[in-house]
Chains A and B, each alone.
Chain A
Amino acid sequence: MRAVAETYLDAASTTPLHPRARAALVDALDGFGDPSRLYGRARRARLLLDRSREQLAAAVGAAPDELVFTSGGTEAANLAVTGLARAARRRRHLVVSAVEHTSVLAPARALTGQGFEVTEVGVDHTGRVDPAELAAAVRDDTLLVCLQHANHEVGTIQPVPEAAALAHEHGALLLVDACQTVGRLPVDVADLGADLLVASGHKVYGPPGTGFLVASRRARLRPVLVGDERERRRRAGMENLPGIAAMAAAVAARVAEAPAEHDRMAGLAGRLLDGLAAIPEVVVHGDPGQGLPHLVAFSILYIEGEALLLLLDAKGIAVHSGSSCTADTQEPSHVLAAMGAITHGSVRVSFLHDATDADVDHLVEVLPAAVADLREMAELDAQAIERESR
């Protein structure tokens, strides 16, 4: 059975619950208990928490005591950046790639008002950081280098091991945001050279409100949330045990399942790219064939991305647009801007594990007419404005 009825092509935003995650979630909700207490129910909760921690640690090649459970990827990234800075003694410099998720960029930028300096490193037209530019940015007083494993908007995979070598050469730590890759591509903290790693539950068929940070023993953290001694004093607050158990089940299942889906995902992406070739003036973003296998990002010139999303939604198709022309912020995607890519008319398509050729075909059937309509509207708008201004 398919997880969702509509043509859901936004797996990079969030995913449905894996059946094993659902089972683990319900079991843990029914077997409620505070893992920090001492009676039988509490000890059973502690056992489940420990087992989930071991399962997740094993999935990313970490030691169980390096994991800190959080409310999601955003909190994990905030804890990593802010917590590390609060514990820092002499090092007062951070390096971030320009295409990091805002949950990394925002806490890093917030530190600039607190005596820290932040260097943003640019990317090439595929969205990939240039290791030479990164090398030039890392200094002897660099505390932390932040480089995502794969980009959330365009799917480009970053040269993380190279970044780790550069960071470590200068005694700095490396933070890797792996929210888009855990349970999709092999993720191993030792292979990546990550001292800190961020993961999210709901992007890997776990429940929303779950995530974790891996913080190696080298990474001294001050907690951001304080109030008790849970999570080895790195994150206060009752653990979301049902969510954590479900996330562990989801990640374990997806790590086992994902490799066999790789070629099919690449086939779907190729099928979509073939379909897009029939639409004039489409620019494909990222590094197709080399990036995340389930993600295709592109811009359709002369149309508004959000207007297209609404037309597609009316046809039962869910995709994401990186642009936010009609949103309150009016800011173009910082990722596409850093790549020197067209930001208007941007579309991100990302496939669930059970996506089919029929899903791609549905989009490819609907897209040309929707694009033609929107282009005609934009043309008429432009003509009307020009008549008025005469």
Chain B
Amino acid sequence: MTTAATTVDCLGLACPIPVVRLARAVASVEVGGLVELLADDPGARVDIPVWCRLKDQQLVAQLDRPEGGWVFQVRRSH
């Protein structure tokens, strides 16, 4: 099932804001829904995957943005 992703733009924002906003966004989508987070804080590169593991949410992909930073695709799994 493919659903339109909710995009959360955290470019230029330092931790913990990207994690806080990801948590909010994941809670706001349906189970199975996709959140796409943009971030360029080095802390986010470490903390977003760790948060997904801690919270048992699915990190579908982590891609480098050509402009700098990363795109994290997170699917709400429960």
Q: Enumerate chain A interface residues (CB-CB to B < 8 A).
A: 283, 301-304, 323, 325-326, 330-332, 336-337, 340-345, 378-379, 381-382, 385-386, 389
Contact (Cβ within 8 A) B19 A301: yes
For B50, list chain A residues within 8 Å (CB). 340-343
Q: Enumerate chain B interface residues (CB-CB to A < 8 A).
A: 9, 13-17, 19-21, 23-24, 41-43, 45-47, 49-51, 53-54
Q: How far is the CB of A339 from chain B (nearest CB, A)?
A: 9
SS class, residues of chain A in contact with chain B: loop
Q: What's the Cα separation between A294 and B21 when bound, in Å?
A: 35
The A/B interface has a contact count, at CB < 8 Å, of 70
Assess A330 versus B46: contact at CB under 8 Å? Given A301-B19, A323-B15, A325-B15.
no
Contact (Cβ within 8 A) A304 B21: no
Contact (Cβ within 8 A) A382 B9: no
Nearest 8 pairs between A and B by C-beta? A344-B15, A344-B16, A332-B43, A337-B46, A382-B20, A378-B20, A382-B21, A325-B15
Contact (Cβ within 8 A) A342 B54: yes
Q: A301-B51, A330-B14, A343-B15 are in contact. List 11 more A-B contacts (CB 8 A).
A: A302-B23, A323-B43, A325-B14, A325-B41, A330-B42, A344-B15, A344-B47, A378-B16, A382-B21, A385-B17, A389-B9
Q: What's the Cα separation between A345 and B23 when bound, in Å?
A: 15
Contact (Cβ within 8 A) A302 B20: yes
A307 to B, closest residue via Cβ:
B16
Contact (Cβ within 8 A) A303 B46: no
Q: What's the Cα separation between A303 and B43 when bound, in Å?
A: 13
Q: How far is the CB of B36 from chain A (nearest CB, A)?
A: 14
Q: What's the Cα separation between A304 and B41 when bound, in Å?
A: 13
Assess A381 versus B54: contact at CB under 8 Å? Given A323-B43, A332-B42, A332-B43.
no
A338 to B, closest residue via Cβ:
B46
Contact (Cβ within 8 A) B19 A344: yes
Q: What's the Cα separation between A385 and B42 when bound, in Å?
A: 20
For A301, list chain B residues within 8 Å (CB). 16, 19, 51
Assess A326 versus B21: contact at CB under 8 Å? Given A332-B43, A332-B47.
no
Contact (Cβ within 8 A) A330 B19: no
Q: What's the Cα separation between A222 and B68 when bound, in Å?
A: 42
- Which of B43, B49, B53 is in CB contact (< 8 Å) with A325? B43
- Which of A330, A331, A378 is in CB contact (< 8 Å) with B17? A378
Contact (Cβ within 8 A) B13 A344: no
For A302, list chain B residues within 8 Å (CB). 16, 19-20, 23
- Which of A304, A379, A382 is in CB contact (< 8 Å) with B15? A304
Q: List 26 A-B contacts (CB under 8 A).
A: A301-B19, A301-B51, A302-B16, A302-B19, A303-B16, A323-B43, A326-B14, A330-B14, A330-B42, A330-B43, A332-B43, A332-B45, A332-B47, A340-B49, A342-B51, A343-B43, A378-B17, A379-B24, A381-B17, A381-B20, A382-B17, A382-B20, A382-B21, A382-B24, A385-B13, A386-B24
For A331, list chain B residues within 8 Å (CB). 42-43
Q: What's the Cα separation between A208 and B77 when bound, in Å?
A: 52
Q: What's the Cα separation between A381 and B16 when bound, in Å?
A: 11
For B49, list chain A residues within 8 Å (CB). 340
Q: How far is the CB of B70 from chain A (nearest CB, A)?
A: 14
Q: How far is the CB of A124 from chain B (nearest CB, A)?
A: 14
Q: What's the Cα separation between A361 and B43 when bound, in Å?
A: 31
Q: What's the Cα separation between A378 and B42 when bound, in Å?
A: 18
Q: What's the Cα separation between A154 and B9 when bound, in Å?
A: 32
- Which of B21, B42, B53 is in CB contact (< 8 Å) with A386? B21
For A336, list chain B residues within 8 Å (CB). 46
For A342, list chain B residues within 8 Å (CB). 47, 50-51, 54
Contact (Cβ within 8 A) A385 B54: no
Q: How far is the CB of B45 from chain A (nearest CB, A)?
A: 8
Q: What's the Cα separation between A341 and B14 when bound, in Å?
A: 17
For B46, list chain A residues within 8 Å (CB). 332, 336-337, 343
Contact (Cβ within 8 A) B21 A330: no
